[in-house]
Amino acid sequence: MQERGVVAMKRAYADLHLCLNVKDAAGMLRMVNKAATLGYRLVAVPVAAEARVDEVAKLREVCSEAGIDFASRVDLRPRTPNELMRQLRRLRRKFEVICVNCENKAVARQAAKDRRVDLLNFPLLDFHRRFFDRAEAELARNGLAALEIDVRPLLVLEGPERVRLLSSLQREVAIAGEFHVPIVVSSGVARELLLRKPREMAALAFLFGLDEASALEAVSESAWAIVGRNRGKLSAKFVAPGIRVVREGKDC
């Protein structure tokens, strides 16, 4: 895969699902440095909902030293829609990226329509619990969530399981395209051996139906848009969508 001219020079690649072990400082440093070497400029790292401030600060420091922008991420696994809404009320203002692992249809539907959700992720090995269908996509179209596809299973699965996964992904990508639901391609990996260059990630996206432009966008602009949007909302100057404090004080 080759990009041409100015577009190639300006594209900034991102991985919104880089799994790091904060308790393994040396391993974490190796992973981040390799991600930087491969060409990533932004990574989101999932942390526990109750992660300590110093743990997140350490992740941010390690990424900064490697020249990578860091975004905090939390992965939610609610059992019911009500549980999801409680988690979102508690955590939305604490994380830059919120992903919902949709393990049943009711949760998937609620996550798709809730504008506080950034990413929809579906069980990759249980093909009977993949709920990204036309009804899900229609709800997501009116929300803000993107469909996240991790490439890790494509790297480790073989034989019939890999074929079935690709078939499911091809169907879901086609549905997402029909309803204009953004797609984010992430790694989902926790081992250096499985890290791939951004363009290699985009090339893997060809296997489930993305064209070149869409595949490259899925590992760059789509991810940055999510982080940028949420950083704006987490800013002290944010009041409501479309409303920000420009100046405050006696002179206003």
> Each residue of 4-36: pLDDT tens digit?
443 444 799 999 999 998 889 899 999 999 999
Statement: residue 248 has pLDDT above 60: no
| Topology of domain 13-233, CATH | TIM Barrel (3.20.20)
Domain-wise residue ranges, the chain = 13-233
Asked whether the whole model's pTM tops 0.85, one would answer yes
Q: Kindly state the tokens that stand for 113.
A: 């329509």
Contact assessment for residue 72 and residue 45, using Cβ atoms and an 8 Å cutoff: yes
Whole-angstrom Cα distance, residue 133 to residue 148? Answer: 14
CA atoms within 13 Å, Cβ hemisphere of 135:
7
Q: Which secondary-structure segment (H or E) carries 98?
A: strand 97-101
Which pLDDT tens digit goes with each residue over 169-209?
999 999 999 999 999 999 999 999 999 999 999 999 999 99
Q: What is the dihedral of CA 53, 17, 11, 112, to 10 degrees?
A: -100
Whole-angstrom Cα distance, residue 248 to residue 84? Answer: 36
Q: What is the pLDDT of residue 4?
A: 46
